[in-house]
Amino acid sequence: MPGFELFGDLEQKEVQDVLDNGVLMRYGFDGMRNGHWKAKALEAELENTFQSKHVQLVSSGTAAVSVALASAGVGAGDEVIMPTFTFVASFEAIMMLGAIPVLVDIDDTLGLDPEAVEAAITPKTKAVMVVQMCGSMANMNSLQSICNKHNLLLIEDACQAIGGSYKGQPLGSIGDLGCFSFDFVKTITCGEGGAVVTNNTDYYLNADHYSDHGHDHIGDDRGAETHPYLGYNFRISELHAAVGLAQINRLPEFIEIQKRNYSILREALSSIPEVTFRTVPEGGEESYAFLNFFLPDLETATKVSKAFKNNGVDACFHYYNNNWHYIRKWEHLKDLKSLFPISEDVKNGLNYLKTKTFEKSDHYIARNISCLIKLSWTETEVKERATKMVEIIKRIV
């Protein structure tokens, strides 16, 4: 991760094919494109990859979350439970629909804590959105059971976890709807792009229409298509889809490299008694896009993080003070700093953030170091990196 590290002839060939053909938009212009449909071809490949009936490509992972929720009827005043550890896009995508993000604690999987989810359910709760952060998963069995018990949607934000699986099922294909990102720093990249994954045909048709201004996509005359309901523009372009079409065929290659590099680093760090690792639920396999480990306390993790940076160990993140990925620094959310008026429902629904604390999440994120696994590292470079990381940690602990 990320796929752009290994751009090559395949990506250039697919992009050049679009440029030669001259049709950059995914819909219409049937006579001009001479049978070239990159987005449709990528959707078909993704259906195979995710072992799912339907895939709808969209313009980003953020768009995928909004489209998925809207397709299942989530909107104004509904509550969506989500984790404290994620990317800001998670609550942005919920709020864009007029729904209310309800943040709850994580556990040692770095994903949603089922007990916290159960405690947060109210009559307004419509969905639980699990975020498969850093290439791994939460306790999916428990979360699915909770959703079944309370008749709630289970939405998977698997934007960082393509290639991971749980009990043989690809992450993103387990819930009612799954969401993926193919932005520039994902394992599979389109430059910008995302996907909604589902086995529910109604949700798929809703996503198909909603993401393109409500077009029903019936027939071959775009101007004659009807609009069964309101929609917006979350389309992906043929250029972006072309890059992804080349990249998805390389996913096994990318996962193999990630697993090799991950395994070298993990084996080295396992020699340090003070280092422990995130819990992967039984039956789960990470995508190996990140290596996440815990140190004894916040002070140690802070010192290790600084030492890594000072000694050239890049791409290791201590999310406790990160502006993008953890609740502590999301002042723009807590204070509702918006360019436009926020609805009273959302304002009132987010009042809890003024006083809510997340001690359990702090316990894990304060001690966590998350290391991106690069595809471009040679095996020698990974081993040298592992040696340096071990030396630094041993010196500090």
Active site residues: 186
Rounded CA separation 98/66 (Å): 10
Alpha carbon separation from 112 to 132, 137, 208, 252, 373 (Å, rounded):
9, 9, 29, 28, 23
Long-range CB contacts for residues 24-31, cutoff 8 Å, separation at least 24: 24/237, 24/238, 24/239, 25/235, 25/237, 25/238, 26/57, 26/235, 26/236, 26/237, 26/238, 26/241, 27/212, 27/215, 27/217, 27/222, 27/235, 28/222, 30/220
- Half-sphere exposure of 170 toward its Cβ, with a 13 Å CA cutoff? 23
Q: What is the DSSP string of 132-189?
A: -GGG----HHHHHHHHHHHT-EEEEE-TT-TT-EETTEETTSSSSEEEEE-BTTSSS-
Rounded CA separation 125/156 (Å): 16
Strand pairing of 100-104 and 79-83? Answer: parallel
Rounded CA separation 180/63 (Å): 10
Rounded CA separation 353/142 (Å): 26
